[in-house]
Amino acid sequence: MYTIDYTPYKLLDWVNKVILNKFLEKLSMNPKAIHLLEQNPDIIVWELLSENPNAIHLLEKNIDKICWNRLSENPNAIHLLEQNKYRIRWTWFFSNPSIIEIDYDTIKKRSEPFKEELIQKCFHPDRLVRYLESYNYDIGEDEYQD
């Protein structure tokens, strides 16, 4: 799963355009440069774009241009990698943080012995009153008061 940021970005006014042209290829790695890259597809360096977590929608449209080494590290590309398992570069893949997920079943089993005590502590009347006063919450209303 991935998120696309629709915030309009622009290059800072004081950035030297001559120097930028020398390092233009690096924009492909910048997650906030997607809008600029979409408007200027001729400057995209597909190898570098493959590791950009916000570029998944561009990569999905251009599967043939993907650098699978770099995509294997991209945390937002798990669904693409799952669909193309034979293309995964395993030495790169194992540095991808998205291959590890929280095991909620294990957490639930580990916390089971403490469940009753935790409920007693969390919902103790003194604690509830303190929260109600701290957050200015009226039980009769379903909204916080400012």
pLDDT tens, residue by residue, 106-117: 988 888 888 888
- Mean pLDDT score, 53-67: 96
Return the pLDDT at 21. Answer: 63
- Mean pLDDT score, 63-77: 96
Return the pLDDT at 146. Answer: 57
C-alpha distances in Å from residue 83, one per residue of 13, 57, 68, 97: 41, 15, 12, 18
Q: How far apart are CA 132 and CA 80, in angstroms?
A: 46
pLDDT of 10 > 80? The answer is no
- If asked whether residues 64 and 91 sit together in one domain, one would say yes
pLDDT-above-90 percentage for the chain: 42
Residue 26 resides in a domain: yes
Q: How far apart are CA 70 and CA 122, in angstroms?
A: 46
- If asked whether residues 60 and 111 sit together in one domain, one would say no
pLDDT of 138 > 70? The answer is yes
Of residues 134 and 15, the one with the higher pLDDT is 134
- If asked whether residues 32 and 85 sit together in one domain, one would say yes
- If asked whether residues 84 and 119 sit together in one domain, one would say no
In angstroms, how far is the first alpha carbon of the chain from the final one? 35
- If asked whether residues 31 and 92 sit together in one domain, one would say yes
pLDDT of 142 > 60? The answer is yes
Residue 53 resides in a domain: yes
Asked if 46 and 66 touch (Cβ cutoff 8 Å), the reply is yes
Please provide the average confidence, as pLDDT, over all residues in the chain: 84
C-alpha distances in Å from residue 31, one per residue of 2, 5, 99, 108: 12, 9, 20, 36
| 18-53 b/e (C-beta count within 10 Å ≥ 16 → b) | eeeeeeeeebbbbeebbeebeeeeeebbbbbbbbbb
The domain containing residue 88 runs over which residues?
Answer: 17-99
- Mean pLDDT score, 95-120: 89
Task: Tally the domains of the chain.
Answer: 2
- If asked whether residues 60 and 117 sit together in one domain, one would say no
pLDDT-above-70 percentage for the chain: 84
- Mean pLDDT score, 78-100: 93
- If asked whether residues 34 and 63 sit together in one domain, one would say yes
Q: How far apart are CA 84 and CA 71, in angstroms?
A: 11
pLDDT of 1 > 50? The answer is no
- Its pTM stands at 0.64
Residue 10 resides in a domain: no
